[in-house]
Chain A
C-alpha cells in the first residue's frame, strides 16, 4: 500500500492517494497537483521543499482539511476526509491539526494568552495556555497584544496556539519566511522541540534547501508532483543549519 520507498516502523497517519487539484482560470486549467501519492508517519519531521508554484501549499492545505482535492482521496487514520464535507473538516482541524503560517495570523484584539486560549477553549484535551507559551519561551509575554510583540515572538505565539490543543500533526507553511536568520532559527528550534517532546508529527514547507537537514525525510516537489523523497540518516539540530 505504502508508496514510500523506505519502510518505516511507525504507522502512517496520513495517506494521500492520487490527489489532483486543478484550478480553472477561465479558459486555462492550472494543474496545481497532478496525481500525488503521499504518506505521513507518526512522530516524524518532514521538510517539504520545492520552487515557488510547485504545489507545496496546495498539498498541505488539502492534507490539513483547508481545501478539498479535485479528485483523489485523503485518509486520516482510516477516515476519508475527501468525503466529509465542511462539518467533518472543521472537527478534524479543531481536534487533530495545528497550522502555522508565514504571516502569524494572530487575532490582533486578543493577548498572547488569549490567542492560545482561543484554541484550548474548543479542543478536547488541551494544555493550559501558559504551558504552551512556556514551551515556546514566552512565559514573560502572556498579556501582550500582538502589536506589542516582535515578528519572531508573534510566530512563537502562533506555534503555541497551534500546539496547545496537542495536535497529532503540525503543518507549517513557510514559518520562517517573514523572519530574519537568527529569529528563524529560534522558531525552528521550537518546532524541533515540539516534535521531540510531544511526539507531534511536523511538516514544514520551505524553499530553503538548508533546512532540509533537520528533517527525518525531505520531500521535494516540482510542477505539481513529488519529485524526490530522501531520508536523512541523522537529523541536524537547528543551530547546525546554514542557509
Chain B
C-alpha cells in the first residue's frame, strides 16, 4: 500500500476515512496517524466526542469492563467527563489528527475501486476504506422547517435552572420533551407542542405530572399541532415566533426559546441505505460483521456503539484493531488475555482459537455464531469444569444463566425422588427455561461424568436470540419440549414426547389479550411459558377475576376433561407466551396414558372445589355480605394494574396499621448507603393496601434492557439488583415503568449505633463517599443482610409486608406442577 503523507486536497483519495469522532473514531484516527496513513476523520458536530460531551456536567465516566486492557495510544481511565475530554483533545493535538468538523456523512457508495463518502453539504470524498464509528446517539432529528436553524432553537436541555421568566415552546410529546417541559415549569411559561392527539407515548408518571401541571396552570399544550416555521422578530420582548398548524388553523406563538425533542433517528435505516446487511429483521439486530469488523460491503468497517459494543473502552480497542486489520497486520484482540484466563483451567497452553473451535465443534447451538460473537459470548460466560456428582443448580433456584455442554453427561431430576428423569449429553444445552420465564428452575441438574460447561448470563443469551435466527429457532424448540415435559410429560415415552412437542406451537399475547373466552368450545391446553394470566368469569353481571396463574403452570385442562364449554375467560395479565397443544392431540395422549389421565383428573377435582369456593366468595359480595370494593376480584384487578402480575416480590403497606413512623425508610437508608429505596408515601392505595414506590422484582425486569455494562442481575432468590459496575447512564431509570430507580450518591453504610449514640440521638459519623458519582440505586431485597428485608423487620406494627404474587392471589404454586384450570 502506498502511504504518502500529504495534506488534504479536494480530489485526493484517502487510505481510510473515519466517520464519527467519538472514542472509537478518535482511537482509529490516532492509530492511523501513528501508522502514517493518509486518513481523514469526519465529525458531524463542531467538536469531537459528541456523545460524551452531552453527558451531564461533571459526570464520572467509568472505564468498564474493568478487566479489559486498553489498546492503542488514545488515553482513557475513569475520570470526570471534563478530564476525559481534555485528555482526548490533548491526544488529538499531539497526534495532529486530521479532522473535519461539521462534516455530517449522509451516504456511502460503492465505487468500482474504493468507496465514496457523501457529506450533508454535497461534497464527495473517496477512500479505499471507510470506518463507520458514529455511535447510536448522535443523529437527533432536527426541526426541519424554515428558521429551524436559528440559535434560539435547541435540541437538548443541559440545565433547566438556567432559564427564568422566559416563554419556552417544547416541541415533541415524547418522554424527553415532557420531562424537559416539566423541568422548566414554575420559573417559565411553558407550552408543549405535540403532533399526536394525546401523550400516549409517555410514561405513566410523566403523563400524570404533565396533566397535573396543566391543571395547575403551570404549562399548556397544543395537540395535533405541527411546526411550520420559525420567524425572527426584530423588536418586542420575544426574539422569535413559532408558526404552527393546529386543527383550528395556523397559529403564531411568540417566544424566547424553542426546545425540540423529536427523538433520535435510528441508525439501522441509515446503514441499510448504505447497503449494509443486518443479521435478522429483528429491530434489535446488529449489522453483520466479520471478525475484522468488516461489514457486508468490502472495505466498509463498523466499530464502537454502532457495531453493538456499548462501552467506551471496547470502542477504543476496536478503533486500534480496525486500523491494524486494514493494514493487514496480525493483531491480537484486546480480549485475548481474558480469554486465555478463561481457558486456563482446560490446560496450560491451550491456543485460544483451538479452544473456540472445540466449543463450536462440540455444541451445535454455538456453531451458529460467528467468531466475534463467540468470543464475546465466552468473555461474558464462565467456563466450568465439574466433577461427577456436582450439582449445577437445584430445583426452585432462581438463577438465570444458560449452560452449553461441551463435554460430559448430566442428570436432570424433576420430581422429589432421587431418580434421574432425563439425561443431558455433550452438545446439548440446558437452563433455557430461565431465559423465557425468569422464574425458578424447574429441576435439579447434576453432573454424571466429568463435564466441561459454558455458563452464559441471561442477558448475553437474549442478545444472541435477538440477532441470530438459528439460535432463536433452536431455543424455541427446546423450550416447547421442556414445557411439555415438565407440565405433563414425565411419564411419556421419548418418541411420544417428541411428536407432541413438534405439534405444539408457541403463541404470544400482549397484556390484556384473551387466550380463550368463557363459554368457548375447548380448543386445547395452554402451558404458560412466560408472563402470567388471570382467570375470570361473569358473575352477577360483572366480570370477576377468580385466579391468577403464573408461568410454569397450565390452563385449559378442565373442559378438555369434562368436555363442557370453557368455565372462564383467560387473559394475559402481562405480555405472555404460551405453548399450545391442540385438544385432539391432548385427548389422544390422555387416552393412551392412564397415568396422565389420573393426574389430570385429580387436579380437575381439586380445581372444581377451589372454583366453587371462590365463586361463593364473590357471590357473597353481590348479596351484600361483603363490600364490593373489598371483594377479592377487585383487589386482584387493582394489583394486576399495579404490575403485580409481572412481579416476583412486592412490598405492600397496610395503611390501616401503619403509624407513619418512617422506620421502614430509615432502616432501608441506613443499611443501603444513605438513600432509601422505597417511598412509603407515594403509590396507589386500594382497600387500605398501598403499593408503595418500590421495586417489584419483575419477572422480566424492564430495567435490564440497555444497561451498557450489564450491571443489573437477578440473584439466587429472585432479587433484581444493580452491581457496582453501574456507570450511571440512567437508562434503567427510564426503562422501569414503576419509577422505582433513583440516581444517587452511595455512601458507606452507617455503622451500627452504640447505645449512647442512640440514647442521645447522635448520628454516627459517616465516612464520606469515596467518590461522589451518582449511580442507579434500587431495592435489592436486602439480599446481603441476614434475616431478610429490613423494611419489613423494622416496622414496629407489622404494616409493611412482602408478598409473592402467587401467595397474594390466593394460590401457592411452587412454580412447577400445579395448574389452575380455567377451562
- Do chains A and B interact in one complex? no
